[in-house]
Structure 1
């Protein structure tokens, strides 16, 4: 699993970048064999004017499945990253569950009853 973090507005300090990587690893570590790549893009949409304009978008490429994309906005980038990572874990779990098809057959001893 490769993680790519792009900061378009110079929002991420080394501590915030480390936080983002740890949050993503924690949320996706149990799906390590199914996740091919993770791309996070962080940007400040309004610049220095302030407000709820810091956005975080994460795209996860899954093996043999469609990409999962989660995005969020907040005035605090660390809260935004944490919330996106939390939602991402649940979304990837659902996407993987949808791709698993179980063909169940009845055991032979039930057919003669």
Structure 2
């Protein structure tokens, strides 16, 4: 599983990227043998003005299943990462779940004598 993190310029950018990659790796560890790549993008929409403007977008590529994308907005970067990681994990679980076949009931054939047949 290859993880790439695109983060805004920060003082400790490499440490931040490593910690995000470790968090994503731990969150998606159960599916690591199926996942080809993970891309994490962090965007600050309004810049330094504050507010709910931290956006995290996680894109997971799984062979034979395609691309699964999740986004989350929050005022804190780590909260946005946590929300998006939880959402993408749930999406992967539902995507990889075995399809439940619809049970088809066989109809009972009524055997017996009806009143109209006896007359």
Tell me whether the two structures share a fold, i.e. TM-score over 0.5: yes
TM-score (norm 1): 0.77
- Which residue number in structure 2 is paired with residue 78 of structure 1? 78
**What is the CA–CA distance in structure 2 between the aligned matches of 1:13 and 1:74, rounded to whole Å?**
20
Q: What RMSD in Å do the two structures reach over aligned CA positions?
A: 1.9
Q: Count matched residues.
A: 100
Do 1:38 and 1:58's aligned partners in 2 also have CA atoms closer than 8 Å?
A: yes
Higher RCO, 1 or 2 (CA under 8 Å, sep at least 6)? 1
Compute the displacement of 1:102 (Å): 7.7
Which shows bigger deviation, 42-51 or 83-92? 83-92
**Greater Rg over alpha carbons, structure:** 2
Do 2:4 and 2:21's aligned partners in 1 also have CA atoms closer than 8 Å?
A: no
- Which residue number in structure 2 is paired with residue 88 of structure 1? 88
Do 1:52 and 1:73's aligned partners in 2 also have CA atoms closer than 8 Å?
A: yes
Question: Relative to total residues, which structure has the larger helix share, 1 or 2?
Answer: 1
TM-score (norm 2): 0.74
Structure 2: gaps spanning 5 or more residues: 102-119
- Which residue number in structure 1 is paired with residue 66 of structure 2? 66
